[in-house]
A = this chain, B = another copy of it.
Amino acid sequence: MANRDLFISVDEALARILKSIAPLEPIEVDLGKARGLVISEDVASPVDVPEFDNSAYDGYAVRAADIDSARIDAPVPLHVVGEIPAGPTGTVEVGPGTAARIMTGAPIPPGADAVLPFEATDGVHWAQRIVGTDALVHVVEPTMIGSNIRRRGGDVRTNDVIAPMGTVVDAAHIGVLASVGITQLRVHPRARVAVLPTGDEIVEIDGSLQPGQIRNSNAWGLTALIEHYGATPHRLPIARDTEDSLRETLRHGDGSDLIVTIGGVSMGDHDLVRNVIAAEGHIDFWQINMKPGKPLAFGTVNGTPVVGLPGNPVSSMVGFELFIRPTLLKMMGHTQINSPTVRARAVQEMRSSDGKRTFIRVNIYRSGCDFVCMPAGSQDSFRLTSMTAGNGLAIVAEGTIIQKGEFVTVMALNERELLLLDGGR
C-alpha cells in the first residue's frame, strides 16, 4: 500500500489551501444584484430614520396643553381642522383648540406636539372621518408632549452603521437598505470557477457510451454545486490524457478565480494534472488521510489557484464539500465558511475505513430531544443512489469506531441543509 507518511490530514490540507486564498477584491453592485453576496465595508445610513417626525398611530395630532384636563367624564372638544394622509405634506396646521386627523407614518403637522390614538377620543374610530370646521372630536384622556410621535432620527441617525462589513445580504437587508436610499453596495464578487474535466474515457453527456467510457457528469454536478454556493461556474472542454491537451485546456481557465480539475490525480497511470500544473506553475500533491476522496492536487497556474479533485463522482463531491466550498466562501468574503454540523446518535456502528477519516452519507432525524443519523442508501460510490441519498456526512475520525448509540458529528451535505425539522413540516 502507499506510504502512509505521504498522507496529510483533512485539516492540514484545508488549512494549506485556505492560507493561500484571500477574499476577492470588492466591487460595487446594484442593490438588486447583491442578494447572497457579502458586504465588504460597513454601510452607514445616509439619512436619519425616520426622516421626519411622524405618527405612530392612526388618530389625531393635537397640542398636549389643550387636553390637560381631559377625562372620561369631562371630555375636551377639539375642532378637527383637517386630515393628514400618507403622501406629501399638506397645509394643515394645528392651532390652539384644534386637532388634525392623522394616519400612521404621516408627518406631524406644524403646531401639533402629540398624537392621540382614536381610542383616546369619543369613539371616532379609524374607519370613519370627521373633518371640517364644524367637526368636533372629544378627547377623554390627557397626553404628554411628544407622545406617539416617532422622532426624526429616533431609530437611526445619519452615518450610523446599518449593515456591518461581513453581512451576507438577504431580502430583509435589501428592503432596509432600499428604505434609506442605498442603491449600490460594495461587496465581494462571485468567484468565477472554471471546471476542467480530464480523461480519454470522458464523453459529453449527450453522447452514447462505448465500453470503458463514462459521461462528463461530474462536471455538471460540480457546476451546479458551484452555482448553489453563489459562485459563477464555467465548464471548460474535456482535456484528454496528454500534457498538451491539458495544458491547452487549462489556458481556457485564464481569468478565473479558481480552476477545479476532475480526474487525473490518482497515483496511478494518468496523473497528468500533477505534472502539468507543476510544469506551468506550482503544485502540491497530497494523499489525504480520508475516505472517500484521498488524492488531491493543489497549486497555481499563472497565479490562479487550481484544485484537482479525483474523478470518482462521490469522491469529487466530498472533495468539493470539504475543500472547494470553504475556498469559494472565503473568496466571496464569508466568515462562516465551514459546513454547519450537528451531533447525532448513530443508529448503527460506523467505522473508520483503513485508518482514514471516513465520511459516511447519512440521513438525520429527530428522535425525542436528540438527533439520530442513519447511513443513507448504499455507500457504494458507484451506485447512482449513493449520490442523491442523505442530507449529511457523518465524520468518523481516523482509526475510530462509533458504536451504535454513540454520538457522531455530521456535517450538512451541500444544499441539503439540516433543517430543524419537526414532524409537522
List the interface of chain A (C-beta within 8 A of B): 1-2, 31-32, 35, 47, 49-52, 54, 56, 58, 84-89, 103-107, 125-127, 129, 150, 155-156, 162-163, 170-183, 199-201, 205-218, 220-225, 227-228, 241, 267-270, 312-313, 317, 336, 338, 340-343, 364, 369-371, 382-385, 387-388, 409, 412, 414-422, 424-425
Contact = CB atoms under 8 A, between A and B. Distances in A.
Contacts of A51: 209, 211
A204 B171 CA distance: 18
A178 B409 CA distance: 31
B224 A35 contact: yes
Q: Binding site of A, secondary structure by majority: helix, strand, loop or mixed?
A: loop
A419 B417 contact: yes
Contacts of A87: 199-201, 212-213, 241
Given A209-B51, A269-B103, A217 B415 contact: no
A341 B225 CA distance: 26
Given A88-B201, A201-B86, A268-B126, A221 B174 contact: yes
Nearest to A225: B171
A267 B126 contact: yes
Given A35-B224, A175-B313, A415-B171, A340 B210 contact: no
A125 B1 contact: yes
A365 to B, nearest CB: 11
Given A181-B205, A212-B87, A269-B103, A217 B176 contact: yes
Given A178-B217, A419-B420, 7 more contacts: A31-B205, A87-B213, A88-B200, A89-B212, A104-B312, A170-B388, A369-B369
B388 A173 contact: yes
Given A125-B1, A126-B267, A155-B384, A88 B220 contact: no
12 contacts: A31-B205, A32-B224, A126-B268, A155-B382, A155-B385, A175-B217, A178-B205, A178-B215, A180-B384, A342-B421, A412-B420, A417-B419
